[in-house]
Amino acid sequence: MVSKVIVPNRGEIAVRIARACREAGIASALAFSEADDTRYVRRFFDETVSLGSGDARATYLDVSRVIDAARSVGADALHPGYGFLSERAELAAACEDAGITFIGPKASSIAAMGSKAESRHLMQRLGVPVVPGYDGDDQALPTLTAEALRIGFPLLVKASAGGGGKGMKVVRSADELQAAIESAQREAMKAFGDDRLLLERYIEEPRHVEFQIFGDGRGNIVHLFERDCSIQRRHQKVVEESPAPRYSDDLRQRMAKAAIAAAQGVEYRSAGTVEFIVTPDNEFYFLEMNTRLQVEHPVTEQTLDVDLVRAQLAVAAGGELPWSQNDLRQRGHAIEVRIYAEDPDDRFLPQTGTIARYVEPSGPGVRVDAGVTERSEVGVKFDPMLAKLICSAPTRDAAIDRMDRALRDYIILGTKTNVAWLRRVVTHPAFRDGLVSTRFLTDHAESLERTISPLAPLVASALASAAPRANAATNADAAPGVPSVWDVLGGWKT
């Protein structure tokens, strides 16, 4: 039984979890850093508890502080969200020791999937295909070099403890190898305190397709179909959708079977994701398993009409899986984009500021999961993701049309955002045709750039003086390729 859930997290995912708690009649407590602007997020919680005023390391990432906070509010369960401590077996174990229900998998499943090398070993034992490569314990430079030459080029050097694309290097020839290994080791040590590497064949023009799985910890596991997350920038997802375009049912069923096998191998409990990389010839390989809720879980929720967080709460309280495999049917299409405070015109540098005006899009099939609102401060200490916009419709084409419209309606002033750029991505003819791969943003970089009409700056400055009165302004381009005044003004503040 769960009566009060503590959430040591921030932004939209904290809001998402609090909403589910309220619907389930469970009390919620937000554990927050005072360095973060939590004025919006805390509205959704029954109570709050400070983790101190430090940055992420000193607050959201400090296991003993988090456990103390849970005890101080009398929480009997903890939902870690994503990021921060969500994939640390140490937190799951500390919760168990403190008699707090960890809303997620068993510590042993997290540990088994925490290292990319170890999870590859497990997958090989289970008969799930992995990318050809080297995942051995011997990390001496001569061994890594010999293995790299055996695998051939191009090659991907990866941090075994990695995440978020850190410590990952593409090596195109033998003479780049040593420098790439050393720099990946340095980066991995700095980011994860662990410099073990693995080597994989670098697959050219792949797609990233992942399966949502869900287990009750007693061997019952279902899959909730796939998400295509191929639109990535620097190995980080930007646009996600479900179903994956242009794939046969047969391919998707084979991947679903492999995903279930992977989850069964660790007696998985709660929500998890099995990630695959798919070659242009439709061969698929296991990449890794994420033992937590993913940022992109809403596209699954929208196409299956499920609530993954409520299901996590139910299973954590000892309940059964709310669905059998046969209950789960994909309907229509859903697309998610991640809205960031960043400047697409200047190397996507994170932006800071106070959100001066904020109006979310709405209407049928439009869902916004936001962590900010008007007057929220966007600082430098935490991730600059502001919100996620999810659009669903009966067909992929209609979902794209809806996303185009919703992005046009989205108003965020006071800090630059990627809203107008995202609109160029989703309305790109290649995206419309479902021709997605992890190279999409690189291949189409030029056609995704903002085109400034010679008149735009003049129009912008004329409107700037009138803007305080302008209510119907939008963030998005007036027409694809033509910048709106807000796009041009960027960080201009009211």
Q: Show which residues are catalytic.
A: 292
Q: Considering the rule CB under 6 A, would residue 195 count as an interface residue with ligand ADP?
A: no
Determine which residue in the list 232, 415, 427, 475 makes contact with ligand ADP, applying CB under 6 A.
232
Q: Considering the rule CB under 6 A, would residue 208 count as an interface residue with ligand ADP?
A: yes
Q: Considering the rule CB under 6 A, would residue 286 count as an interface residue with ligand ADP?
A: no
Q: Considering the rule CB under 6 A, would residue 200 count as an interface residue with ligand ADP?
A: yes
* Rounded least distance, CB 178 to ligand ADP, Å: 20
Q: Considering the rule CB under 6 A, would residue 88 count as an interface residue with ligand ADP?
A: no
Considering CB under 6 A, how many residues would be counted as binding ligand ADP?
19
* Rounded least distance, CB 5 to ligand ADP, Å: 27
* Rounded least distance, CB 81 to ligand ADP, Å: 17
Q: Structure tokens of 272?
A: 């998890």
Determine which residue in the list 206, 365, 414, 483 makes contact with ligand ADP, applying CB under 6 A.
206
Which residues 167-186 are close enough to bind ligand ADP by CB under 6 A? 168
Q: Considering the rule CB under 6 A, would residue 199 count as an interface residue with ligand ADP?
A: no
Q: Considering the rule CB under 6 A, would residue 215 count as an interface residue with ligand ADP?
A: no
Which residues 348-407 are close enough to bind ligand ADP by CB under 6 A? none
* Rounded least distance, CB 168 to ligand ADP, Å: 6
Determine which residue in the list 438, 474, 475, 484 makes contact with ligand ADP, applying CB under 6 A.
438
* Rounded least distance, CB 158 to ligand ADP, Å: 6
Binding mask 116-145 for ligand ADP (x = CB under 6 A): ---------------x--------------
Determine which residue in the list 19, 22, 42, 235 makes contact with ligand ADP, applying CB under 6 A.
235
* Rounded least distance, CB 400 to ligand ADP, Å: 22
Q: How do strand 4-7 and strand 77-78 relate by DSSP bridges?
A: parallel
Q: Considering the rule CB under 6 A, would residue 475 count as an interface residue with ligand ADP?
A: no
Identify which of residues 144 and 366 has a Cβ nearer to ligand ADP in the complex: 144
Contact residues for ligand ADP, defined by CB under 6 A: 131, 156, 162-165, 168, 200, 202-203, 206, 208, 232, 235, 275, 277, 287-288, 438
